[in-house]
C-alpha cells in the first residue's frame, strides 16, 4: 500500500487492482483445464487399442459380438454373461457365422431379423433412438458450462473488489 504525500485516504484504501488477469494466471488456468483433458484423451486412446493393428480372430470377434447381444431368455444380460441354453445357442451361432466370414453388421442384421431389435443391448443410432445418445451429452455440456460460468463470474467479482480494509 503506497501512501501519497499528505493524503490520508491513500493510507486506508489500497489502489484498485487492474481487472486484467496477469499472463501467468491465464497460463495456469489454461494448463489446469487442458492438462487433464489431454491426459484423459491419451489414456482413452491407449486403452482403446488405437495403435493395435493386428486383425481379430473369429473367436475374438464372436466374443465382442456376444457382449453386445442380449440373451433371448434373460433380462438385460448379454449372451457372453449368460449360461442359459438359448444364450449358448446364440453364442454358437455367432461363432459359426464369424468363422464363415460374415461381417459384424450382417450377423447383427440376421439376429435382429430372427429375434427383433431388442436382441441388441445398444440401441441403433437412427431415428428417435439417436436422442438416447445425444440428450445426455447435451445436458452434461450445458451443466458443465453453467458451473464454469458461475466460477468465472465469482472469480471476476473477487478480483474486481480486491482487498478491503477491516472496519
Half-sphere exposure of 44 (CA within 13 A, CB side): 6
The pLDDT tens digits of the residues spanning 120-134 come to 888 666 777 778 778
Residue 31 lies in a domain: no
Total of domains in the chain? 1
Cell triple for 143: 451443466
Cα Rg of the chain (Å, integer): 30
Q: What are residue 69's DSSP bridge partners?
A: 120
In a domain, 27, yes or no: no
Whether residue 19 lies inside any domain: the answer is no
> Is 161 a member of any domain?
no
CB–CB of 55/72 below 8 Å? no
Specify if 108 maps to a domain: yes
Q: Give the pLDDT confidence of 11-57 residue by residue, as tens digits.
A: 555 555 555 555 556 677 777 778 888 898 888 888 777 776 677 88
Asked, for residue 147, whether it belongs to a domain, the answer is no
Structural domain that includes position 64: 58-124
Is 70 inside a domain boundary? Answer: yes
Residue closest to 122 by CA, chosen among 39, 141, 130, 72: 130
| CATH number, domain with residue 119 | 1.10.8.640
pLDDT at 155: 77
Q: Across-strand partners of 78?
A: 70
Let me know if residue 40 belongs to a domain.
Answer: no
pLDDT in tens, 81-107: 999 999 999 999 999 999 999 999 999
pLDDT at 138: 95
Grid cell at residue 17:
487492482
Amino acid at each position: 500500500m503506497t501512501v501519497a504525500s499528505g493524503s490520508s485516504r491513500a493510507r486506508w484504501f489500497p489502489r484498485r487492482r487492474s481487472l486484467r488477469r496477469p499472463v501467468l494466471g491465464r497460463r495456469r488456468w489454461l494448463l489446469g483445464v487442458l492438462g487433464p483433458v489431454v491426459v484423459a484423451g491419451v489414456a482413452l486412446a491407449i486403452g482403446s487399442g488405437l495403435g493395435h493393428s493386428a486383425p481379430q480372430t473369429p473367436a475374438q470377434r464372436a466374443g465382442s459380438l456376444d457382449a453386445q447381444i442380449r440373451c433371448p431368455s434373460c433380462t438385460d444380460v448379454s449372451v457372453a454373461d449368460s449360461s442359459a441354453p438359448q444364450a449358448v445357442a446364440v453364442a454358437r451361432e455367432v461363432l459359426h457365422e464369424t468363422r464363415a466370414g460374415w461381417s459384424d453388421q450382417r450377423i447383427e442384421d440376421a439376429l435382429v431379423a430372427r429375434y427383433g431389435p431388442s436382441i441388441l443391448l445398444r440401441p441403433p443410432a437412427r431415428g428417435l433412438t439417436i436422442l438416447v445418445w445425444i440428450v445426455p451429452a447435451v445436458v452434461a455440456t450445458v451443466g458443465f458450462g453453467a458451473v464454469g460460468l458461475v466460477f468465472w463470474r465469482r472469480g471476476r467479482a473477487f478480483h474486481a473488489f480486491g482487498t478491503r480494509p477491516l472496519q
